[in-house]
Amino acid sequence: MRTYVLSFFIVIIFINFSYSNESIIKIERSWNEIVSMSGNFLQIDPDGEVSNGKFYFLKPYKSKFQYDDRSENIVTNESLLRIVDDEGYQIESYNIKNNILKSLLSNNLIIENNFKNTVLTENDNLYKLELYLDDYSNNNSGIIYFDKISLDLKKWEIIDEFSNKTVLEFTKIKKNISISENLFVVKYKN
C-alpha cells in the first residue's frame, strides 16, 4: 500500500513538473517572438512612491522608461542603466552586468539557461514566474506575471542586489511595432 501511495505522489509531482515546463516553454516562445514593445506603466518604487509613464523595449537589451511626473527617465543597454534628464542627457549610470532586466531583454530568453532557479505558479488568469539569478536568494530576483491566455506581460517585481523591490504594472501594450533606435540615445554634457 505504501508503494502505491508513494508512486501516486511521484506521478502527481512529475505531472505538475511537466505541466510547469510546458507553460514555461510557452512563455519563452511568446516572449522570444517579441522584438519590440511599448505601453504604459505604473511603478511603485522601494520607498512606496507611485509613478506613471510610458515604456519602450527594443531587443536586444534596450529599454526606456519615460515618467509623466518626474524630470528623470531611465534608459538601458546591454551593460548600463542610465538616468537621464528630459532632454536625454545622462545624470548617472549603473552597471547592470547581472540583472534580470538584461536577461529578459535578450534576443533569445531561455529561462533554464538564464536563471539558476525558477518557480511557476498560476491562478485563473495569470502565470506567476519567480526567477532567481542565485539560489532562491531575494537579491537579484524577480517575479514576472503573464496573462494565461494572451501571455501578455502584466506586471513584474524586481529585487536588485541591494534588496530594493520595484514593482511595475503594464497596460496598453503594443508588440512588434516600429521603435526608433534614436529613442535610446543618451547625450553627454561637455
For residue 3, pLDDT beyond 80: no
Interval 43-59: pLDDT, tens = 999 999 999 999 999 99
pLDDT at position 135 is 65
- pTM score, two decimals? 0.84
Name the superfamily (CATH) of residues 2-184: Lipoprotein localisation LolA/LolB/LppX (2.50.20.10)
pLDDT at position 136 is 59
Average pLDDT score over residue span 145-166: 91
Three-state DSSP at 124 gives coil
State the Cα angle at 132 between 94 and 36, rounded to 5°: 60
For residue 9, pLDDT beyond 60: no
Interval 111-130: pLDDT, tens = 888 888 889 999 989 999 99
Interval 125-144: pLDDT, tens = 999 999 988 765 667 789 99
Interval 64-104: pLDDT, tens = 999 999 999 999 999 999 999 999 999 999 988 777 888 88
Distance of CA 68 to the CA centre of its chain: 21
Stretch among 26-30, 39-43, 105-109 having the lowest mean pLDDT:
105-109
Cite the DSSP H helix spans in 49-162. Answer: 100-104, 111-114
Q: Which residues pair with 156 in a beta bridge?
A: 144, 168
Q: Report the run of H or E that residue 16 belongs to, with start and end.
A: helix 2-32
State the Cα–Cα distance between residues 146 and 93, nearest whole angstrom.
Answer: 30
Domain boundaries, the chain: 2-184
Cβ atoms 158, 142 nearer than 8 A: yes
Beta strand 126-132 with 117-122 is antiparallel
Three-state DSSP at 111 gives helix
- From residue 35, alpha-carbon distances to 4, 9, 62, 85, 143 in Å are 49, 41, 11, 26, 21
For residue 17, pLDDT beyond 50: no
All three cell numbers of 91: 545624470
Higher pLDDT, residue 76 or 12: 76
